[in-house]
Chains A and B, each alone.
Chain A
Amino acid sequence: MFSNSQIDIETLPKVEALELKPIAKKYFTIIVINLVILYGIIIAVLSAVKYFTKKEGFHSIYWYLVAGVLIVFLAQFILYKLGFKKRKYALREKDITYSHGYLNNSSTTLPFNRIQHLEISRSFLARKFGLSTLKIFSAGESGGDLSISGLPKEVADSQYAFLTNILNERE
């Protein structure tokens, strides 16, 4: 059966009219902890070098280095803070949308009939906070895959079950 009727773009379902849901607020704490650990390690290494080295040059620039690292930390913190509000997702009848990014905002929509497989991953911290990351893969390596971090475990699990159900029905 072939149909090729004209499509009126105005009447198509609009992805911009979607009401996007934010991810769990707790996830920001995880981001901050990860940031602190990362920059903490960098500063610790710098301090260790300062402690063991006898080179005058390094001692004189040590505080500049630490200040530089702290500025980068602060900048990244602010970007994450601003960007956190942009991390949103939504499901429609036939596709899933994930949007994120402050400086470079992107919103990806993946139709259900293109999903290849699903994955739920939980890092150590995420387990402590009861959060999960839902990964949705499409075919190929072209990068149209979605990875939604910071979903409450129950939400991730129910989405996972819902999508698996759709995948199974398709077969």
Chain B
Amino acid sequence: MSENNFNIPSRQSAKGIIVFFGVSVYKVIKGLIIVIAAFFLKYFQSGEALDIYNYKVILSVAAFILYFIIFAILKYLNFKFYINKDYFILKQGIINKEETSISKSKIQNVYIKQNVIQQLINVVSLSIETAGDDKTEIEIKALSKPKAEALKKQLLSGAKVEDNLEKKENIKKSVETTNVYYKASFKKLLLEGISENHLKSLVFVLAFIFGLYNDFKEFIKQFKVTSRFNEYFELDEQALLGLIMFNVTLLILLLITSFLFSLIKTVVQNFNLTVYRKKDGLEISKGLFNKINLGLVSSRIQNTTISTNKFKKALGLYKLSFTQAMVNKKQQLKFNIIGLNKTQINELINEFYSGVYTSIQKYKPNRYFILKEIMVNIFLLLLINIPIIFAPPLVFLINIPLVILFAANTLYAYKKAYYSIDNKYIVVGTGKLIETHTSFLETHKVQAVKIKQTIFQKKRKLATVKVYSASKAITIPHIELNIARDIKNFLLYKVESEDRDWM
């Protein structure tokens, strides 16, 4: 225990120096990548061999590295943390000293993560998230795994439930009774990756290429890429054919890239996805390059969403995503388990929302839902058609698949939309042609209720209800105004009369 005594100020593992060093070098390289690339390009163009052994080059590189090493050591020496009664205290800063203290009761989540450097030198990072403002997020970058686990346990032991003996015992028990609930096989990850929404990746890949193009515009100009292409396609009789071939190849290349992108992304992010079951919730661990350990306390879960799409459903693949209060957006995206089958989904949902399936009574939104979707789609079509006016008439044919797609989307969006509210749970179903989502929220976790009414809805005596929780809002669209009011009154009554703990 002497090693894990957190009451006296202690530094992190000495390996932290390596992490600090690695992180700052990575940041500099990332920031200067274009400058470095430009530097090399200039050398190549000038035709001279790069003289690496020039003493000036060696000296400046050495100075840089030395600077970072000293910086990392100083940062390490000045980084101390300890627990004083109910407070976690962190002192850091080389010149500007900074002291942060956090009440244990304010701690919302504690994560243990590992990036590539940390995996290599066998340390973990521990970050603490607090209620209140999101600026006070704290990260300790290098701890040995057992020490991190011990610190996590101590930090969470005082969190909120201290006066609740029963819960405290639960936490103790939960540490002992951790068992693997689910482990995603590599095959499942591959299937998940293959059935991803590749259009989303396409947008991402396109944005990336445009970004790259903007950065390297000057270089591309220097390489005279365009003029070379022009020469290539200048054969008159074959020009059109060549252009079409070029575009088709480009499109196929883009599609393959985005397919590979979503496949690799899914596999890398969820590599070795393992879900442990604990008495008070779940623990998710996953990731290839960035290993991450996420604790999920069932009482802090805000919304839960089941997502699938047509292909995944056929393969029996479902995704479960959770949101917790006060978790930042980036972290929020990681709180999900993919590759679950129907039975596992039902089991987990029943664990967090016991008996919800038997109490679901589906109500549909008003048919105005369809009308509104049609209006929005017509507007979109008009927008798309404005630039087409100047294009050859053949391009107008693009409207045919678009109209079919929009119509199918609208139809399925209405078909998949429903809501259900009972004493304990709100369940809302949404979807489009391909995808389907089901969201769950406990009524006592509601934060605020909003009734929205546009002037078009007003004429039809309809309204949209938005139910806010501490993390994400749930929308019940286009229902009768009096029902919307009943829902609002009911939810407010639940929240105000029970005064239960909701975070």
Contact = CB atoms under 8 A, between A and B. Distances in A.
Contact of B471 (A4, A111, A142): A142
Contacts of B495: 111, 113-114
Given A103-B455, A139-B470, A144 B447 contact: yes
Contacts of B131: 139
Nearest to B500: A113
A72 to B, nearest CB: 20
Given A104-B453, A106-B452, A142-B471, A114 B502 contact: yes
Interface size class of A (residues with CB under 8 A): 20 to 34
Greatest chain A CB density within 10 A among B326, B450, B458, B471 is at: B450
B489 A140 contact: no
Interface in A111-160: 111-114, 116, 138-146
B352 interface: no
Interface string B356-379: 000000000000000000000000
A88 to B, nearest CB: 14
Interface in A21-71: none
Contacts of A14: 485, 489
Nearest to A14: B489
Nearest to A117: B132
B488 interface: yes
Contact of B473 (A12, A143, A146): A143
A20 interface: no
Interface string B440-451: 000000111111
B222 interface: no
B27 to A, nearest CB: 27
A13 to B, nearest CB: 7
A144 B468 CA distance: 6
A108 B325 CA distance: 20
A145 B454 CA distance: 20
B468 A111 contact: no
Contacts of A4: 423
Task: Please classify the interface of chain B as helix (H, G, I), strand (E, B), loop, or mixed, using the class held by over half of its residues.
Answer: mixed
Q: Is the interface of A mostly helix, strand, loop or mixed?
A: mixed
A74 to B, nearest CB: 19
Interface of B: 131-132, 302, 325-326, 329, 423, 446-455, 458, 468-473, 485-486, 488-490, 492-493, 495-496, 499, 502-503
Interface of A: 4, 7, 9, 12-16, 94-95, 102-114, 116, 138-146
Nearest to B328: A141
B492 A15 contact: yes
Given A95-B496, A114-B495, A140-B471, A15 B325 contact: no
Nearest to B494: A7
A142 B447 contact: yes
Contacts of A15: 485, 488-489, 492
B484 to A, nearest CB: 10
Closest 9 A/B residue pairs (Cβ): A144-B448, A144-B468, A140-B470, A108-B450, A94-B496, A139-B470, A106-B452, A110-B448, A138-B447
Contact of A95 (B470, B472, B473, B492): B492
A109 B492 contact: yes
24 contacts: A12-B490, A12-B493, A16-B485, A95-B492, A103-B455, A104-B452, A105-B452, A105-B453, A107-B450, A108-B448, A109-B450, A109-B492, A110-B448, A114-B448, A140-B325, A140-B326, A140-B469, A142-B468, A142-B469, A142-B470, A142-B473, A144-B448, A144-B450, A146-B448
